[in-house]
Amino acid sequence: MSKSRAATDPNTPMRHPDHRRPVTRRDFLAQGFLTGAAIVASPSLFGLLGKNGGAARAQALDCGITAGAGRIPFVCFDLAGGASVAGSNVLVGGAGGPMDFLSDDGYLKLGLPADMVPSLAGQINTELGLPFHSDSAFLRGILDKTSATTRANVNGSVICTRSDNDTQNNPHNPMYGINKAGANGSLVTLIGTESSESGGRSVAPMSMIDPTVRPVKVDRPSDATGLIDTGKLVNLLDQNEAAAVMRAVEQISQTKVDKMNEEALIQELIRCGFVESTYLVENFGNPDVVDPLLDTEIVGQAASIFTAAELNESKFRKTSAVMKLVVNGFAGAGTIEFGGYDYHDSTRATGEIRDFQAGQAMGAVLEYAARRSQQLMLYVFSDGSVACDGVLDNSAEGRGKGIWKSDNSGTAAVFMLIYDPAGPPQLATPAQQQIGHFRSSGTVETGATRVSNNVSLLAEAIVLNYLALHDEVGTLDMVLPGHGLGGAAERDALVAFQPIR
């Protein structure tokens, strides 16, 4: 095996002779050619009836602007290009679950040589509840950023499901549905690291999209602080004095609203607009409160999650900003998009390095939730996947594993990790550690579940699982009218966990 790529930067873009030239922005993202520039979005303080400010968009009758709207923080990772999830990272198996082992040839297709198949001793790690391969790059990255205590309070589930290769057209992103299920923030509803309709590379299902809560682009710490604009009042007065002025304005305005000949709902919307303005000044008059660079749990001390050097890297800057906003309830849900996961470049080394970095980011989000004593739902997906033809990369970086030679939609999977400071979340049934299954040959059994070959239904199933964590499965018909997940028995088979809230 040639080691000619070992000296190159593993983060360089992928140039594939068998692919058409990248044309769209999302094509460039998939191959790692660009990461995007920041766009600072600053909601108007007096956007009284707007959808992007907080209270009025959520619960007009009670101005529900508490942090996180009382829901579990939700973060999803969009690994653009077709990352390897199944087998080499998260274990997958036959109809009996991850421990219902595939054939050796099946595992080789998933990148595992004969001396690393899960049936051998020492090849499985269950520290996160969900079985990972013990040499998984995702796992090594997660271990690098999490404490043993954090990992002990995590459990997960893998969903075996194919999706189209290396394309933004898979409707993977469930964030609009997560918002419909109640996720909201005290500052902004949804955020994403791309200025796209979904906040990432993969699109959102059309049936879920609500243009009024389109994700605000946040891909660096300055974008987080740029969300706040409370005008000149805080500059003229200190924060407490400014809040007192706003409360007085709120009271005066309420007196005027009481005399207006308007419907009660309109009056309540107007009132909530002033309440929200007061709340913004009172809680966000100083943008430092949302700055990840000033949070010593994130950076700045020896025990911080990231080092200052790590935050020079785009992947970790965007991770720090999104996790700061979502875990603290300033945003209801967030997408973190990483480009360059179309990594079949005739090596295994590039994929290992990029997967390790993705794992570090996943671990950082889990660890930050633990340090903030917050529950968390973390969801990881990619557009399609890759396959090995049996050739191994015996370089140090390749770790003796199978070389990724081509795209392969049939080897794809997604997974969830749930964190609860009260203890590891419990599966609905032991069988729900894996939803759907793989054939012995190493490809998804597309007829196993409704979601095994339908990405739109997969996104609906993630919303269903979010509702289930809140013990609200019965509200699915209201949250996603016309969903395609079938009757109660079929839906139950797609629910991984017992409620944690």
Condensed to tens digits (0 to 9), the pLDDT of residues 107-132 reads 999 999 999 999 999 999 999 999 99
Residue 255 above 70 pLDDT?
no
Q: What are phi and psi of 29, to 5 degrees?
A: -65, -45
pLDDT at position 47 is 39
Residue 34 above 80 pLDDT?
no
The single residue listed with the structure tokens 């049996």 is 390
Residue 445 above 60 pLDDT?
yes
Per-residue pLDDT of 141-200, as tens digits, reads 999 999 999 999 999 999 999 999 988 999 999 999 999 999 999 888 999 999 999 999
β strands within 85-220, DSSP E? 124-125, 132-133, 154-160, 188-192, 216-217
Maximum CA extent, the chain: 81
Range with the lowest mean pLDDT among 21-30, 303-312, 395-404, 416-425? 21-30
Burial, 20: exposed, middle or buried (Cβ in 10 Å; 0-12, 13-18, 19+)?
Answer: exposed
Residue 481 above 70 pLDDT?
yes
Cα 54 versus chain centre, distance: 21
Residue 247 above 60 pLDDT?
no
> Which DSSP symbol is given to 232?
S
Tokens standing for 380?
């990881």
Pick from 204, 178, 296, 281: which is nearest to 238 by CA?
Answer: 281
- The CA–CA distances, whole Å, from 458 to 68, 196, 203, 381, 435 equal 24, 20, 13, 10, 11
What is the distance between the alpha carbons of residues 374 and 376, in angstroms, rounded to a whole number? Answer: 6
What is the distance between the alpha carbons of residues 369 and 82, in angstroms, rounded to a whole number? Answer: 27
- CB count in 10 Å sphere of residue 289: 17
pLDDT at position 227 is 81
Q: How far apart are the first and last CA of the chain?
A: 51
pLDDT at position 63 is 59
What is the distance between the alpha carbons of residues 491 and 474, in angstroms, rounded to a whole number? Answer: 10
Residue 238 above 70 pLDDT?
no
Half-sphere exposure of 94 toward its Cβ, with a 13 Å CA cutoff?
9
Domain boundaries along the sequence of the chain: 66-228+322-427+434-492
Q: Confirm if 13 and 31 have CB atoms less than 8 A apart.
A: yes
pLDDT at position 209 is 97
What is the distance between the alpha carbons of residues 263 and 217, in angstroms, rounded to a whole number? Answer: 35
What is the distance between the alpha carbons of residues 56 and 69, in angstroms, rounded to a whole number? Answer: 12
Q: Which residue has the higher pLDDT, 189 or 232?
A: 189
Helix (H, G, I), strand (E, B) or coil at 339: coil
Q: Which residue has the higher pLDDT, 14 or 458?
A: 458
Residue 281 above 90 pLDDT?
no
Rounded to two decimals, the pTM is 0.81
Q: Confirm if 191 and 215 have CB atoms less than 8 A apart.
A: yes
Per-residue pLDDT of 133-147, as tens digits, reads 999 999 999 999 999
Residues whose CB is less than 8 angstroms from the CB of residue 462 and which lie 6 or more positions away in sequence, other chains included:
174, 177, 178, 379, 416
Q: What are phi and psi of 124, to 5 degrees?
A: -125, 135
What is the distance between the alpha carbons of residues 249 and 367, in angstroms, rounded to a whole number? Answer: 41
Tokens standing for 58?
């959520």
What is the distance between the alpha carbons of residues 298 and 220, in angstroms, rounded to a whole number? Answer: 13
β strands within 161-236, DSSP E? 188-192, 216-217
Mean pLDDT, range 205-218, rounded to an integer: 96
pLDDT at position 17 is 64
Range with the lowest mean pLDDT among 29-33, 86-90, 357-361? 29-33
Which DSSP string do the residues of 438-478 spell out, in sequence order?
A: B-TTSSB-TTSSTTTT-HHHHHHHHHHHHHHHTT-GGGHHH
Q: Confirm if 401 and 395 have CB atoms less than 8 A apart.
A: no
Where does 159-212 have alpha helices with state H? Answer: 175-180
Residue 35 above 90 pLDDT?
no
Residue 347 above 60 pLDDT?
yes
> Which DSSP symbol is given to 69?
G
Mean pLDDT, range 240-262, rounded to an integer: 52
pLDDT at position 66 is 58
Mean pLDDT, range 197-210, rounded to an integer: 97
pLDDT at position 498 is 98
What is the distance between the alpha carbons of residues 357 and 376, in angstroms, rounded to a whole number? Answer: 20
Residue 16 above 50 pLDDT?
yes
What is the distance between the alpha carbons of residues 90 and 416, in angstroms, rounded to a whole number? Answer: 11
pLDDT at position 264 is 65
Q: Which residue has the higher pLDDT, 344 or 15?
A: 344
